[in-house]
Amino acid sequence: MIGVLLVNLGTPDAPDTGSVRRYLREFLMDGRVIDIPYPFRFLLVNGIIAPFRAPKSAKIYQQLWEERGSPLKFYGEDVRDELQKSLGSEYVVKLAMRYQNPDLPSVLKEMEKMQLDKLIIIPLFPQYASATTGSVYERVMELMSSWQIMPNISLVSYFYQRPGFAAYFAEKAKKYQAEHDFDYYLFSYHGVPERHIRNGDITKNTCVFGTCCEQITGKNHGCYRAQCFETTRLIAKEMGLKDGTFGTAFQSRLGRDPWLQPYTDETIKKLVKEGNKKILAFSPAFVADCLETTIEVGEEYKELFEEAGGEHWQLVESLNNSPEWVSFLKDLVQQS
């Protein structure tokens, strides 16, 4: 029996302040997410961020919530079920969240009892980052360290470059291109602090947050920023876009330390000033629509864009529970 473990970031159990507070505490107390010494992290998260941010975030989650609950969770459940059907009885497919439910400890305990021959772990993050994929691996290895019998293990670090990923977004964009002549195509990725990138630069002289991301090389192939720029190039190539009509930016920064640039909000204002009044936006760092796509990019950035003088803003939906995404994962599993 081959086990397939799909792991996404996580979501609150409900769109209320208490649930959101619990989610934020677990998420932000991860040392790979906020990489400062534990005592300071504890005070920052539990004394400032969670208490003050939870009520505001709960209101936003209420806008996002659907009858089935959190889209990130129910899309994941759909994909898990369809992938199980597609792979057949020789495989067992499970879904877990790095934070909250379904929780990794419970899911892995179930899988331990199955006496698997092989376990394929797929963090659902197209690009590698220490705060996402790295955190999943660290937690999985910690939980599996007590297993007496270890199956063969296959870890998928990233998949943005695999055949079909860029093609999906290019295909989804076609229906919007048929309706409007867009001036610009903006690819917005979740940001991380610049220090995360510097910490991952083993050479200590490759990452300069500029031209080093113009192509993927042997030295930067594991760099999140470089992978994001490469994702943009791959989708743009699939779409046949010309240089100068598309670009990469980073959203969702937190705190005063410098995060990956250019920032999406500042980029939007700049693009409008340059005469780009119709923009098609993408969020290729997410495999399911969530707060950061539907609300932040789809609504908040649209409002910012229109206030700056923009005329038409459209977000291309994520992979969600599409047949193409299930097929992509099936190929990924069978090649792992």
Residue 196 assigned to a binding site: no
Q: Identify the CA nearest to 320 among candidates 73, 87, 6.
A: 73
Taking the C-alpha atoms of residue 99 and residue 103, their distance in angstroms, rounded to an integer, is 7
DSSP alpha helix (H) spans, 113-158: 135-144
Taking the C-alpha atoms of residue 93 and residue 98, their distance in angstroms, rounded to an integer, is 16
**Angle made by CA atoms 250, 322, 158, in degrees to the nearest 5:** 45
Instruction: Please count the other Cβ atoms lying within 10 Å of the Cβ belonging to residue 152.
Output: 10
Taking the C-alpha atoms of residue 45 and residue 50, their distance in angstroms, rounded to an integer, is 6
Residue 221 assigned to a binding site: no
Print burial letters for 87-101: b (CB count within 10 Å at least 16), e (below 16). Answer: beeebbbbbbbbbbe
Taking the C-alpha atoms of residue 283 and residue 264, their distance in angstroms, rounded to an integer, is 11
Which residues carry a binding-site annotation for Fe(2+)? 190, 292
Which residues carry a binding-site annotation? 190, 292
